[in-house]
Amino acid sequence: MTDRTRSGAGATATICVVSEGSAVDLCVTFGPATTVGHLAEELAHRLPGRWADGLWIDGSQFANDRYLVDTPLTDGAVISATQPAPEPLAIGQIVAVAGWDAGRQVRLQAGSYPAGAVASEPVRVDRNGLQVGGSPAVPYGSTFGDGRTAWRYEPIPHQVSPPGGPFNRPPRPPQPILANPPPLPKREAATRTGTVLRWTMIAGPLLMGAVMILIFRRPSFAIFMALGPLMAIMNWVDGKRRSTRTDRIADLAYRAALGSAVKKYRGWLASRQADSSRLHPDLATVLSWPTSGHHRLWERRPHHPDFGLALVGYAPLPNYLPVEGPPDPHAIETLGKQLPVATFPIVASLAPGRVIGIVGPQPETAALARGLIVQLVIHQGPADIRLRVSASPSRAGDWTWTSLLPHARRDGGHTIEVTAEAAEGLLAGEAAVLVLDHLYEPRFSGAVRRYAEQQGTVVVVADHPSQLPATVDQLVSISAQGITFVDSSSNRTYTGTGVYPATDVCSAVARTLMSIRDPESEARDGTLPPTVELFDLLGFQNLKPNQVIERWQREPGVIAAPIGLAADGVVKIDIVKDGPHGLLAGTTGAGKSELLRTLIASLAATVSPEHVNFVLIDYKGGSTFDACADLPHVVGVVTDLDEHLAARAMTCLEAELGHREQLLRSVGVSDLAGYLSLTGQSSLPRLYLIVDEFATMAADLPEFMDALVDISARGRSLGVHLMLATQRPAGVIKDTIRANTNLRIALRVQTTADSRDVLDDDSAARLSRSTPGRGYVRFGPSELTGFQTALVSSRSANLPANRLHLDPIGLPGRNPRSIIDVPGTDQPNDLEILVKAIRQAAELCDIQPARTPWPPALPTTLPLSDLVDVPGAFGLVDEPERQRQTPYTWERQKGHLALYGMPGAGPELAAEAAIAAICATVDDVLIFTLIYGTHRYRALSELPGITPAIEPDDHERQLRLIRWLGEELKRRRTEPADDCPDIVLLIDDVAGCLKSLEPFHLASHSETMTEILTKGYISGIHVIATAYSPTALRARLAVGFTQR
């Protein structure tokens, strides 16, 4: 796939048109003969400016007579009416790293800028650096703030061209691991190594000395009485001195350890800031990667721990730092005073399964959400995430830039949904990163929970937390003081400054990303064109029969044709190499019927009827194959199968397999390839059976499915191939079918079980309902290939070659303006044009109608005039075991004709048809009619030479006719004559006739009738009798009725 959807019929590209300083994004679709002048004329209707002198496309000028297909008009191309102005010579730039307008780059020439020009304060730039207000000049790399925005002064980066085209993601180098802060020293508690001075140590000796003096009457004991307290006091004084000295030594050690810890914290802080900047660069740095083609673009993969992380803002160094045990207030206070002021990134996770809420005033909430999404699409490639946006009408304008992103491509329109119903539909669709900006409703709560469980990510923007779903696990609250970020999964709360990029900054990034392709995403449906025309794939323009003949002659005998477009080119189906049989699944609205029509039409346009024939079976009885029925390749169309028709169909197919086996045995080969090599490529065409809704048929007609299983096993060597299509394949694909169906195709299906049954993969269940015809194909054990089905029921063949359409990007409800209108519904569609051309090609090549292995079922009505080629035929006999239908004639000389059936079921009409056939082929015949039933045979009265019918109540005439016939039978037996005319007697309700002759007095008439019914045909008296059942004729009478 190229940068744009391009073919011989034209191309489609998303472009940026610059007019008088403003940029407008448009999707342009043009034909092969559309010129630059056509586009200039259309732009003049929409935008101001002079558009008459050609256009500038990506900096190069093109004249008005140049065809657009010969210009670099691809996705991301910049169009203008005048030559773009060159970049001014600048000596530096300031970039907003945080706060309002984050990510913006402002290039500065040498000179002074007043307050408000580039910052809220005056700025002067020269070779000495950047001077803000009255502050000294600072060099490159310095930062400054102006109240709302944090800026960094940088040199002008080396100018490179945006990458464009496919972008190769190199291997990601090892990422830094954030180290924990060093441990803080602990202040030891005051030591108590000295002796404790207690009153008992003083009072005890004094009391004992006083007692001894009183008892012994010796005053000298007073000396010993004072010695004890004195020693206690001296011990206490010594202990106190030693404890003070120990505490002084411990305090000195603690202060030394704290000083060392501060030094370590400075190193840790610098390292942590560097690592954090590496892991989570500021927004200005990230936004520069697409323009420069930086190797870190799209570097994060689903298996990386930082997948889905995005910068919310910056928080200052937290006051509490983790330490072992209770924190030391003095240590914390010391760190706060001695460490430099530092900030760390606040990071939110938009990984699968997360729900984040953003609340606060406008426009801050929209800007912060915008910052999260723009980081997401730069860090992660289109192969790894998809983006969907739904916003209220008042907020949708903030998100139109996302429509340009390759991550958001769907259905060709890249629209922003603006209704609650559309948002609900997105929640029920494929897992993606879904933004709900002021469009969340309480009834979505369950849908949001299920969406997250299915690995979807939801970003909900609202005014107040009460407007958020309960499943929010991350909350960003914006106020005048800054942002507060709460992550319930880690139970952490941060406060700080947010990042708020402007819409135009994000739009510029999106336009750059639009022109860059992720090769890894090209197998994904999001990078495929929303529509593909079969005529483009076949190379048909102004289709004529000779183009079909030329295509037939390119590779005769190769049964392969294109059905759609994949990222690496056209998807072709070869029913021999990719088969022998195939499975196709697709739910309602997925495009299954269109794919079947495309497959049939593409094969018919590529392969001659001499090499492949189709039998089309639509169990639903719908109109899937109606337009294909007139193809010369089609040898049978069956709809509305019931048990009888199913049994008949299987009989025909078994007969076809037997016929092919007999042909192969006749030349001594075991497969069709050997037979064709001996007898010629057109001697026996391959038979392709395409069955729609086989799963329903398997439930209703299990015997029919068993027969299909037998065909899938036996037919592969006989050139009989199957394509089985259904809406719900789960549980109905038997192992025998699975073993013989190497070709598997799945459009969108309802459940993962349906997808696994066909693809052995869940991918088809995640396809968007907004892109019908999108699907996956698996050729045997090979990898899945995403593709877009080619349309054959559209009207692309009638599109003018110089058509031009311009569609606005982003918001729905805007009607495209076009110079050339598309054809109306009264014009034939591509399939009708193709079928007509193929039929004419077959006539020009004198290709005879193919042998019909599956004759159509008997008609409900059969005019007798259709059988005039066979004298005496009055009916049609179905012989499915012989794959034919033959006219039925009554051979009168071999016996009578009995017609059985309930009244109204048709035996009377068959009798009339038989009589009419006789009248049309035999000149000399006498025809009599005896009526004993309710039918009056009025149609016979219009035929010449027929005796009026005898009514049931005319007994005299009935008996008189029977007597005459008896006499005529005797005469013919005794006097045979060759010139006697045949007599045909029609008896309506023969059982009623015999019953009327049972009375005793009519015994002779009964015997006469018996003679006529058993042996009358020998003498030229032939009987056509109708009866309700075969038991109406007793065995003795039935011997004369040899044809029943």
pLDDT of res. 562: 93
> In 659-763, at which residue ranges do the beta strands (DSSP E only) sit?
686-692, 720-726, 743-747
Q: Name the nearest CA neighbour of 477 among 571, 356, 378.
A: 356
Structure tokens at 713: 């096993």
Domains 5-80 and 864-1038 are alike in CATH topology: no
| Cβ atoms of residues 296 and 290 within 8 Å | no
| Cβ atoms of residues 43 and 37 within 8 Å | no
- What's domain 297-520's architecture? 3-Layer(aba) Sandwich (3.40)
pLDDT tens per residue across span 333-358: 777 676 766 788 999 999 999 999 99
| Cβ atoms of residues 31 and 799 within 8 Å | yes
Other CB atoms within 10 Å distance of the CB of residue 161:
9
Query: Which residue(s) pair with 492 in the sheet?
Result: 487
Domain range 5-80, its CATH number among 3.10.20.90, 3.30.70.260, 3.40.50.970, 3.20.110.10: 3.10.20.90
Class of domain 532-653+684-789+826-838 (CATH, top level) = alpha beta
- What's domain 864-1038's architecture? 3-Layer(aba) Sandwich (3.40)
The residues spanned by each domain of the chain are 5-80, 92-159, 297-520, 532-653+684-789+826-838, 864-1038
| Cβ atoms of residues 656 and 853 within 8 Å | yes
> In 176-298, at which residue ranges do the beta strands (DSSP E only) sit?
none
Give the amino acid at 844: L
Structure tokens at 171: 């291997």
pLDDT of res. 319: 40
pLDDT of res. 622: 65
Query: Which residue(s) pair with 123 in the sheet?
Result: 113, 132
- One DSSP character per residue, 769-790 reads TTSTTEEEEEETTSPPEEEEEE
Query: Which residue(s) pair with 585 in the sheet?
Result: 726, 746
| Cβ atoms of residues 725 and 691 within 8 Å | yes
pLDDT tens per residue across span 400-413: 899 889 888 754 44
Q: Name the nearest CA neighbour of 790 among 775, 804, 769.
A: 775
pLDDT under 50 in the chain at which residues?
1-8, 319-320, 324, 411-414, 523, 525-526, 813-825
Q: What is the rounded CA–CA span in Å between residue 1032 and residue 1025?
A: 10
| Cβ atoms of residues 498 and 313 within 8 Å | yes
Q: At a CB cut-off of 8 Å and minimum separation 6, what does 412 contact?
A: 12, 27, 529, 530, 531
Tokens 């020269």 map to which residue? 126
| Cβ atoms of residues 889 and 870 within 8 Å | yes
| Cβ atoms of residues 57 and 84 within 8 Å | no
187: exposed, middle or buried (Cβ count in 10 Å: 0-12, 13-18, 19+): middle
Structure tokens at 344: 């760390």
Q: Name the nearest CA neighbour of 715 among 783, 641, 785, 658.
A: 658
pLDDT of res. 818: 37
Q: What is the rounded CA–CA span in Å between residue 313 and residue 364?
A: 12
pLDDT of res. 189: 62
Query: H-type helices in 385-541, by residue range?
Result: 420-427, 445-453, 503-514, 534-538
Structure-derived torsion over alpha carbons of residues 63, 67, 70, 73, reported in degrees to the nearest 10: 80
Structure tokens at 1030: 């075969």
The count of C-alpha atoms lying within 13 angstroms of the C-alpha of 1039, restricted to the half-sphere facing its C-beta, is 7
| Cβ atoms of residues 736 and 712 within 8 Å | yes
Structure tokens at 855: 């004759």
Q: Name the nearest CA neighbour of 988 among 1042, 1035, 918, 940.
A: 940
Q: What is the rounded CA–CA span in Å between residue 664 and residue 657?
A: 11
Secondary structure element (H or E) that encloses residue 388, with its range: strand 387-391
C-alpha distances in angstroms, 689 versus 70, 159, 567, 721, 743? 44, 61, 29, 6, 14
Structure tokens at 540: 């048909």
Other CB atoms within 10 Å distance of the CB of residue 739:
11
Q: Can you count the helices (H) and strands (E) in the chain?
A: 24, 43
Q: Name the nearest CA neighbour of 468 among 432, 441, 433, 496.
A: 441
DSSP 906: S
| Cβ atoms of residues 1025 and 962 within 8 Å | no
Question: Phi and psi at residue 131, in whole multiples of 5°?
Answer: -120, 125
Q: Classify 946 as helix, strand or coil.
A: strand
Q: What is the rounded CA–CA span in Å between residue 823 and residue 799?
A: 7
SS3 per-residue string spanning 711-725: HHHHHHHCCEEEEEE
Q: Classify 830 as helix, strand or coil.
A: helix
Q: Name the nearest CA neighbour of 622 among 639, 646, 598, 645.
A: 639
